């Protein structure tokens, strides 16, 4: 078990997280979603500047779109950025409301990883 998996396994959270590796776009910034919960998402491997434009900032609202994942590619989830680490190229977001379809999608990701 990796350190990240051990850390997630030890957590007692209102919304347990599940480790994933899913490509996505946060507005126009490519990210890799690294953990998912029903409360929010963690992402990494993010370039903090594209074409001279700085990446997202804490408190900013953005659109998160999963790429090529079970027909969910065209669906966007509106989020608020709650944590940014420019040094590590990572961030955390919380949802600003989910449709029934988005909720089902997130629950299916959690079920695949034994968290639902």
The residues near 40 (Cβ < 8 Å, ≥ 6 apart) are 15, 79, 82, 92, 93, 94, 95
* Beta-bridge partner residues of 12: none
Which tens digits make up the pLDDT trace of 27-36? 888 888 888 8
Alpha-carbon distance 72 to 32, whole Å?
15
| pLDDT score at 50 | 62
Burial class of residue 43 in the structure, from the number of CB atoms within 10 Å of its CB (0-12 exposed, 13-18 middle, 19+ buried): buried
Tell me the per-residue pLDDT of 7-32, one tens digit each, with 9 for 90 and over.
Answer: 545 555 566 778 888 888 888 888 88
Closest by CA position to 83, among listed 40, 32, 49 = 40
Tell whether the model's pLDDT for residue 5 goes beyond 80. no
**Residue 24 near residue 66, CB atoms below 8 Å:** yes
Domains in the chain: boundaries: 20-28+38-106
* 57-114 residue pLDDT tens: 889 999 998 886 665 556 689 999 999 887 777 889 999 989 998 888 888 878 776 5
Comparing 97 with 116, the larger pLDDT belongs to 97
107: nearest Cα among 18, 25, 23, 22? 18
Determine the pLDDT at residue 78: 94
Q: What is the mean pLDDT of residues 36-64?
A: 80
Q: pLDDT-based confidence at 56, cuts 50/70/90?
A: confident
């Amino acid at each position: 078990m990796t350190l990240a998996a051990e850390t997630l396994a030890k957590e007692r959270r209102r919304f347990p997280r599940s480790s994933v590796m899913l490509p996505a776009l946060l507005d126009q910034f490519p990210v890799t979603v690294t953990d998912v919960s029903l409360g929010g998402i963690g992402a990494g491997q993010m370039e903090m500047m594209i074409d001279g434009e700085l990446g997202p900032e804490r408190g900013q609202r953005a659109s998160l779109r999963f790429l090529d994942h079970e027909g969910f590619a065209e669906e966007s989830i509106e989020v608020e950025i709650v944590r940014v680490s420019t040094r590590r190229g990572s961030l955390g977001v919380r949802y600003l409301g989910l449709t029934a379809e988005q909720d089902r999608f997130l629950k299916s990701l959690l079920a695949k990883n034994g968290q639902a």
